[in-house]
Amino acid sequence: MLAFPAMASELSAAARALIVKAENDCKFEQGVFRVRPSAISRHDLNGDGKPDEIVDTAKFSCSTAASLWGGSGGTYLYAVVNGKSTEFFAHGWRLADVGRQKVLLLSVHHSECGGGTGSCYRAYVWSDGEFRTTKP
C-alpha cells in the first residue's frame, strides 16, 4: 500500500480533495490511512481525449475502522470528469466500450433492482455533462 502524499501530485484537484477527506476521516483514534495505487485509475469517460479519474474507496484502508467507506451495500466510487466528482455506491465496477463510448458498469445491491437476492447491475454513460442511466 502507498500513503497518499506519494501520489498526490498526479491527481486532479477534485480527486485530491476526495483523498484528503478520506485521510481526515481516518484520523480518529490516531488511525493510519492508506490508499493502494490501484484506487485511482484514469480513463476517458466523456470522450474528449483527456483522462478522467475513478477513485475507488474499496482500495482505501484505515487502521482504526474496518468499514469507513462502505459496508454490506457496497463502497463509495467516485468518477471525476471535468473537475466534477460524481458519487456512486457499488460492490464493484468495470468499464465497457460500446462503440466509441465508455459505459461504467456497477455491481449494486440487489435492493436497487426491486428486491430478491440475485445480482444487480447498473450502467452509466456520460452525456450532456453528466452520468445518465435508465430510471430505477
Tens of pLDDT, residue by residue over 49-82, are: 999 999 999 999 999 988 889 888 899 999 999 9
Interatomic CA distance for residues 39 and 48, integer angstroms? 23
- pLDDT value at 117 more than 60: yes
> Torsion over CA of 44, 62, 7 and 91, rounded to 10 degrees?
-10
Interatomic CA distance for residues 25 and 112, integer angstroms? 28
* Three-state SS letters, the chain: CECHHHCHHHCCHHHHHHHHHHHHHCCHHHCCEEECHHHEEEECCCCCCCCEEEEEHHHEEECCECCCCEECCEEEEEEEECCEEEEEEECEEEEEEECCEEEEEEEECHHHHCCCCCCEEEEEEEECCEEECCCC
Q: Which three cell numbers stand for residue 37?
A: 495505487
Interatomic CA distance for residues 114 and 86, integer angstroms? 24
pLDDT in tens, 88-113: 999 999 999 999 899 999 999 888 77
pLDDT score, position 7: 62
Question: What is the value of pTM for the model shown?
Answer: 0.89
- pLDDT value at 26 more than 90: yes
Are 120 and 109 spatial neighbours (Cβ–Cβ below 8 Å)? yes
pLDDT in tens, 39-51: 999 999 999 999 9
